[in-house]
Every structure is written in C-alpha cells, then in structure tokens.
Amino acid sequence: MTPADLSLTVLRAVRRAVGDGALAVREVPPRVVVERPRAGGCGDWATNAALQLAGPAALPPRQVAEVLRERLLDVPGIERVDITGPGFLNLTLRPGTRAEAGRLLVRDVREHGPRYGHGDALGRLPEYEVRFLLPEGADLRLRALTHCVVALLRSQGAPARVDGAPTSRRLHALPPHYDVAAALGPDARRWALLRPAAHDRVLDAAPLLRLTEADNPLFTVQYAHARSRALLRNAADLGFTGAYEEEADAPELLAALADHPSVLLAAARHHAPDRLARHLEATADAFLGFQHTVLPRGDEKPSAAHRSRLALAEAAGTVLAGGLSLLGVTAPDHL
C-alpha cells in the first residue's frame, strides 16, 4: 500500500462510518493526509483524519478515531491500528504489505519521473489566491520566493501566475543582508534565498562555497543526485539494471520518498519552499547512508537484492531532481 492507497482506505472507512450512522457529518472530506508517524507515534503510517472530522461530527477526536479504527482493522494488509495523542490513527502494515508498498512506491516514481508528487489538490483555489504581484524594484529574494511559490502551486494543479494587477497577492520576505548575486553562483544563490523560511535571514555565502557534504547542504543534495546517476552507469557496466524485486532495507529512504507528495503539497499550500529544501536534505542524507549497498562487491554477482537497491537509488535520484527543479536549482549528473 502506498500513502495514496492508504488515504483512499481511510476515506472508505470514513464513508462506511457515515453510512452506518456512527459519524454524523454532512460532507466527507475529499482527501485525508497519510504520513509517517511523528514523535510519540508508532507504526508505519499515521493520519489525523479523526481530528479533521471531530468538529463536523461533534465528537471528541479520540472517539472518532475509535470509530474509524474499528473499520480499519479488517482491511487486508493492515496488521494493527493504534490511537495516539489527541486522536491520531497509527497504522502498522503486515510485513508482506510493506514489501509490496516499496515496490509500488518505486514504480510510482518511475512512472511519473520528476513530476512524482505533482497533483491537482489545489486546482480549485480561487483566483485571488493564485495571482501574485511583484512590485517594481522587488529585491532578489522576493523575486525568487514569488516565482518558486508559483511553481509549487502549479505542481499541485493551481493556475498560479505573476501579474501586475493591484489586487494580486504580495508575498513578504526578509531582504538579503549582503549582495547575494555578487557572492554566489546561480544554484547557490537560489539555495541561499529559498532554504531559510521567508522571515529568516538568507544563508551566509561562505558555507555554500565549500565542496564538502558536512558544511554545505546544497552540495550534499546535488552530490546525492550525482551519486544516484553514477550508480546507474556503474550498474550498466556490470550488466544489470534496477528492478524492485524484494524489500530493500532502507526504511529512512523509503519514508522520505513516500513523504515527497505530501511535502510538495504542504510547501505549495503554505508558500514555503523551505519545506521542500529541508525535505531534499533529509532525502539526500538517507540516500547517502544507503548507497554503498547498491553495487555488488568483490566477486559478488548482481542479485535480486542489488537490482532492488538500484531501482530504489534511481527513484531517489528522480525525486531529488524533481525537487531541485521546482526550486530552480540544477541536478548535475556528475560532480
């Protein structure tokens, strides 16, 4: 089960509860968010659907969660459903289901390419929410932020654009405290401007000029992408390609790839490119901790495990490339 599959599964449980009369709500939400459990949670996935429905149902969130839990326990592939905190539902998948979820996730990334995570969730936003004004003389950061927010909104189906209409929205960002254009090249410049939240200072230039993973998060992300492409080239030289045939032991990387669609949606909805940048850093770190297992060593011959790891590495590179593109940063094949 992918997060999208689980979202539909939870929605079906909601509809069953409404149909049974266990929840008295006038409208079932069009979607629910399924994401990795936060601190204090458990299981493989979590959803705040019960908190979302508590108000309309006029019931405490934990009571709504119990209603939904009863209807999720009989779903094939779900091993346990726990209620944590104020009413979060935590879902634990059966082992075979986790392997299938990884296979479907990698297939989903491969099918959509750099557009993995794009959707139409914001396609019905009113026009006044998707038209943006860049005032005359806008500084470099405000320009970068506005154009990036437009790109993020478009990735989620919103017809966003920049125009000069006085009624259009204007974003706000703390101006740079140094001449970013003079100090940094195009990629580092975009990262310095977009990586911090709009109300925070832009990143200092010196760390972004260092070609080391420890000191330069942008280099880490671009290096991770380049490594994923190098692994594909090396595997081709060894005569094998990627195919997700068995579960790869890479829970952090699988989680990062699965979270990518919800991160894109949140970044678009909150006009927050920094959320995407942080997610790319986490994805790169997870990939770099895994990538040494991809290729055969010594006299080893390529196995199903190697093919599965290579497919996952390829998916990681695809997600990094797609995210960097939305930020206006290049994804090099070589570094």
**252-307 pLDDT tens trace:** 899 899 889 889 998 999 999 999 999 999 999 999 999 999 999 999 999 999 99
Beta-strand ranges (E) seen in 16-114 are 34-35, 45-47, 78-84, 88-93
**59-108 pLDDT tens trace:** 999 999 999 999 999 888 899 999 999 999 999 988 777 778 888 899 99
* pTM, full prediction: 0.81
Domains and CATH numbers, the chain: 3-93 (3.30.1360.70)
H or E segment at 131?
Answer: strand 131-133
| Nearest partner of 332 among 195, 143, 188, 205, judged by Cα | 188
Q: Is 96 exposed, middle or buried (0-12, 13-18, 19+ CB in 10 A)?
A: exposed
Per-residue tokens: 31: 């979607």
- pLDDT value for 213: 67
Per-residue tokens: 37: 């459990």
Q: How wide is the angle at C-alpha 20 spanned by C-alphas 67 and 35, nearest 5°?
A: 40
Beta bridge partners of 162: 132
C-beta of residue 109 within 8 angstroms of C-beta of residue 97: no
- pLDDT value for 313: 98
Rounded Cα distance between 4 and 323, Å, is 19
160: Cα within 13 Å, side-chain hemisphere: 25
C-beta of residue 23 within 8 angstroms of C-beta of residue 14: yes
Pairing mode of beta strands 45-47, 131-133: unpaired
Pairing mode of beta strands 88-93, 161-163: unpaired
